[in-house]
Chains A and B, each alone.
Chain A
Amino acid sequence: MAISSARGLLLASLLLSCLIHECYGKILLSSLQKTLQVTTSTKQGVLKAGEDKVAVTWGVNQSLPSGTDSAYKTVKVKLCYSPVSQKDRAWRKTVDLLEKDKTCQFKIAARPYDKTVQTAEWIIEREVPTSTYFVRAYAFNADGEEVAYGQSTNDQKTTNLFDIQAISGRHVSLDIASVCFSAFAVVSLFGFFYLEKRKGRSSQ
């Protein structure tokens, strides 16, 4: 009798903790309200990482009733991959569950929420890879959970995208070093052969 009630208690507490876990940290993008308006402004053509800038403007959609944004405490603005850059690259996959989502991997800005329209000018970080991007902003509540979002492109993520070209990571000194070391290795090998042949001849 005691055992079955203890088992029952264990089961109930497991179930309860699961339900709590369900509510906490398992936020889906589809469950968020799209209340923020985000626009980006970049120069024409392909942007260069480490050099060019992206200007982002965000704010809550003014046509919505006031009080929509009462829970918003902080805003994080992120650089996100467009579908064409996600193709055949599982490490950039879009998943509805936000904690597993890998669409937006670079942070542009993180600010406390302000009712007025905010702007940020971001110099593209050097580690951004060559791809096509858009910008998304998430609004967080006091518990640090996402409650709303907005993005600079449409729902299909096809409009208003911009291209960024990564830095190559190569340096002239590195190029020279690798060629020199390679040449040294090959030349030394043939030098060795020559010495061995000479030694063989002289010992006869």
Chain B
Amino acid sequence: MEVQSTNIVVESQPLKFALPVDSEHNASEFRLFSMAAPHMRSFHLSWISFFCCFVSTFAAPPLLPIIRDNLNLTATDIGNAGIASVTGAVFARIAMGTACDLFGPRMASASLIILTAPAVYLTSIASSLVSFLLVRFFTGFSLATFVSTQFWMSSMFSAPVVGTTNGVAGGWGNLGGGATQLIMPLVFATICYMGAFKFTAWRISFFIPALLQTLSGFAILIFGQDLPDGNFSGLQKSGNKQKDKFYKVFYNGITNYRGWILALTYGYCFGVELTIDNIIAEYFYDRFDLKLNTAGMIAASFGLANVISRPVGGIMSDAVSKRFGMRGRLWALWVVQTLGGVFCVILGQVGSLTLSIVVMIVFSVFVQTACGLTFGVVPFVSRRSLGVISGVTGGGGNVGAVLTQLIFFKGTKYTKERGISLMGLMIICCSLPIMLIYFPQWGGMFCGPSKMVATEEDYYLSEWDSDEKEKGLHQASLKFADNSRSERGITKLNSATNAT
């Protein structure tokens, strides 16, 4: 019997999906301009809602010149609020990962988005440092939708395109962080023009991101769907999907060492990205004497580069995987992230404005591409605990941001340029553990696949114990194992096909 890695399943019923699908009904093609349910519709719902969450979380920074006068904040207060905004998401991302595994991305993400919208509405009544810190902290929880985005895409799209889909959804969501630097000042200026006074206008402005966030949450509930075949609850009732236990899912996820290595390395691509978002405007303003507006536009452009860089990372991961499989994905990730670190070191050393901007752009491209490449590897680490792995990795990104800001960019111990160069060195060092990631069925960076017979089925079914297998709980993982055979790369795949 000929075994192909992706099958268009010939079923007794007519094919009911607009896109070609594999045996799990995951789409094997990514058509950007389609809105077809359920695959592409889920894609558009997830990136748009993630974009709205990013807009809300970073809505305060562009309006800080007004807010700091209204609430009487010092520079230290502003720094702490920035750290608070990314701290909340650390545990929220891990919790979100588990929630996705148990309840499905539709319920999990819509609930989080709608439950954090009040924090954005209530920002408009903040009247002191404490209330400001609290609203930024709770609004930051909404960044956990990153995890549900990646989980959802990994559940809807199959191995050959999962990197691309994750990269585009993640990148276009991250765009919100750059777009908000342009949206909020515009909204604020419009409200001022309509006659509101400055200290009131900024408060009214926050209703815009809050409303967008609420609407996107409801759109997910109304139009979204967890899996190609339906929602978790429906599938669990009809017996097509087994309800899993929290403890099992969680334990299985956190005991997989690959998730922790990826958490560390993601802290030094995405965490670095968040850190730069917070400090780069001030860096250009102070070191090169630019106007605050100009420095702000440079800060925005760093975030806006995500529209291309992160998707390119995902596309690159999938392209490399076609030829070299998982080993290619790992090598690409290590090379790109290390080069990002090198350019970061250089950024701190250059003294001229033009050269700084050029190096910053190159650095941003490498760092954001590395983010995309990371989530080309994550979907394969675990199938049963995909959410937990995504959550741990995503949370690691935020931890990296908090740590880096605390070590290098708080107080006056290091100048900003020295801090940036040291951060670059840390990126290079913290990317080395990628060399330790090893999949018995596919290999790692330096070792080939295990000489003993090791298949995708062995790896994914080892997540279930014999009782669970008897009950048939592992069926979905079995299908995924079959579909993930493309991660062997072309040469190995040919020999596998010929052998059977």
Contacts and interface: CB of A to CB of B under 8 A. Distances in A.
B323 to A, nearest CB: 45
A126 B216 CA distance: 37
B122 A182 contact: yes
A1 interface: no
Contacts of B254: none
Interface stretch (A33-41, A59-67, A162-170): A162-170
A171 B201 CA distance: 11
B222 to A, nearest CB: 9
A188 B70 CA distance: 33
Given A169-B197, A169-B202, A174-B203, A189 B114 contact: yes
A90 B75 contact: yes
B70 A169 contact: yes
Nearest to A192: B221
Contact of A182 (B74, B121, B217): B121
Interface in B209-268: 210-211, 214, 217-218, 221, 233-234, 237
Nearest to B292: A91
Contacts of B211: 181
Contacts of A114: none
A16 to B, nearest CB: 24
A21 interface: no
B125 interface: yes
Contacts of A175: 125
Interface string B94-124: 0000000000000000110011011001101
Contacts of B494: none
B207 A166 contact: no
Contacts of B234: 200
Interface magnitude class on chain B: 35 or more
B65 interface: yes
Contacts of B197: 126-127, 167, 169
Nearest to A184: B214
B76 interface: yes
A87 interface: yes
Contacts of A121: none
A89 B74 contact: yes
B414 interface: no
B193 interface: no
Nearest to B114: A189
Nearest to B77: A88
A126 B233 contact: no
Nearest to B201: A169
B117 A89 contact: no
B122 A88 contact: no
Contacts of B72: 129-131, 166
Nearest to A129: B69
B117 A171 contact: no
A190 to B, nearest CB: 10
A96 interface: no
Interface string B60-99: 0000010011101011100000000000000000000000
A186 interface: yes
Given A88-B76, A129-B72, A181-B207, A188 B218 contact: yes
Contacts of B110: 189
B199 A186 contact: no
Given A127-B199, A182-B117, A186-B115, A170 B125 contact: yes
Contacts of A88: 74-76
B127 interface: yes
Contact of B237 (A166, A170, A200): A200
A204 interface: yes
Contacts of A169: 70, 197-200, 202-203
A90 B77 CA distance: 13
Nearest to B72: A130
Contacts of A126: 197, 199
B134 interface: no
A169 B198 CA distance: 8
B78 to A, nearest CB: 9
B305 interface: no
A166 B69 contact: yes
Interface string A130-153: 110000000000000000000000
Given A89-B75, A200-B234, A178 B199 contact: no
Nearest to B213: A185
Contact of B127 (A91, A127, A168, A171): A168
B204 interface: yes
Q: Which of A131, A182, A188, A200 has the most chain B CB atoms inside 10 A of its CB? A: A182
A196 interface: yes
B108 to A, nearest CB: 12
B224 to A, nearest CB: 12
Contact of A185 (B76, B117, B199, B237): B117
A190 B110 CA distance: 11
Contacts of B199: 126-127, 166-169
B70 A166 contact: yes
Interface string B17-51: 00000000000000000000000000000000000
Q: Which of B69, B117, B127 has the most chain A CB atoms inside 10 A of its CB? A: B69
A174 B200 contact: yes
Contacts of A189: 110-111, 114-115, 217
Nearest to B119: A182
B114 A178 contact: no
Given A166-B72, A168-B199, A185-B214, A174 B204 contact: yes
A174 B126 CA distance: 11
A84 to B, nearest CB: 11
10 contacts: A130-B72, A168-B127, A169-B198, A169-B199, A169-B200, A170-B125, A174-B124, A181-B117, A181-B211, A183-B118
Q: Give 9 closest A-B pairs by Cβ, nearest first.
A: A169-B199, A182-B118, A129-B69, A88-B74, A178-B121, A189-B114, A169-B200, A182-B121, A130-B72
Given A169-B198, A181-B117, A181-B211, 16 more contacts: A88-B74, A88-B76, A89-B74, A90-B75, A91-B68, A127-B199, A129-B72, A166-B199, A168-B70, A174-B125, A178-B124, A181-B118, A185-B115, A185-B121, A189-B110, A200-B234
Interface of A: 87-91, 126-127, 129-131, 166-171, 174-175, 177-179, 181-183, 185-186, 188-189, 192, 196, 200, 204
